[in-house]
Amino acid sequence: MKDNSRRGFMGKAFGGVGAVGAVASLFAMKKSWDPLPSVKAAGFTTLDMSNYNENEVITEKWRGKPVFVLKYTPEMTAKLDEKQKERTIVIDGSHYMVNIALCTHLGCIPSYEKDNKKFLCACHGGMYDFTGAVTKSPPPRGLDIPPFKIDGNTLVLGEEGTEYKFMKENGITL
């Protein structure tokens, strides 16, 4: 009788441990198939647009690629023609160029000439204006614009917002 109740107790105890173990292993399995938080965030770069100074190019990083961010001065904004306006991102009344910093010819990184307000690619002499539009070959097109979404005063690279979709649909970027 005593033995039986002990067996009953042991059975329940092991059963309980087994159930806890099964739940724990299910939890572990779920964790292993869920993407890690770092992987979830890896595709996105969030930029606080209040951090940039006018006519100063800052190189950010998105999915391992360099991305130029350039805030225009009021004079630069006033000079924009229609084509340049299409490439420009407007956030909270300020105008920005946000382009992948790789020359569309063979992938060199162009440099910004602050005084002339243009980008020069030293590899084969290609040139871009301050909006990233090509002004001298051999680059076949302007600098590419990464997918972006405007969220208040921040820009999320890697998400496709309305403004980016419009640019893509109208052939302003690939």
Closest distance between ligand FES and the C-beta of residue 125, in Å? 6
Q: What share of the chain is helix, strand, coil (3-state, %, to 5)?
A: 35, 30, 35
142 forms part of the interface with ligand FES (CB under 6 A): no
Q: Which is nearer to ligand FES, 43 or 107 (CB)?
A: 107
Closest distance between ligand FES and the C-beta of residue 134, in Å? 10
How many residues touch ligand FES under the rule CB under 6 A: the total is 10
- Give the strands of the sheet with 134-136, arranged side by side: 111-113, 118-121, 126-129, 134-136
For ligand FES, the binding residue among 108, 156, 159, 161 (CB under 6 A) is 108
How far apart, in whole angstroms, are the C-alpha atoms of residue 33 and residue 60?
A: 31
Q: Which is nearer to ligand FES, 138 or 158 (CB)?
A: 138
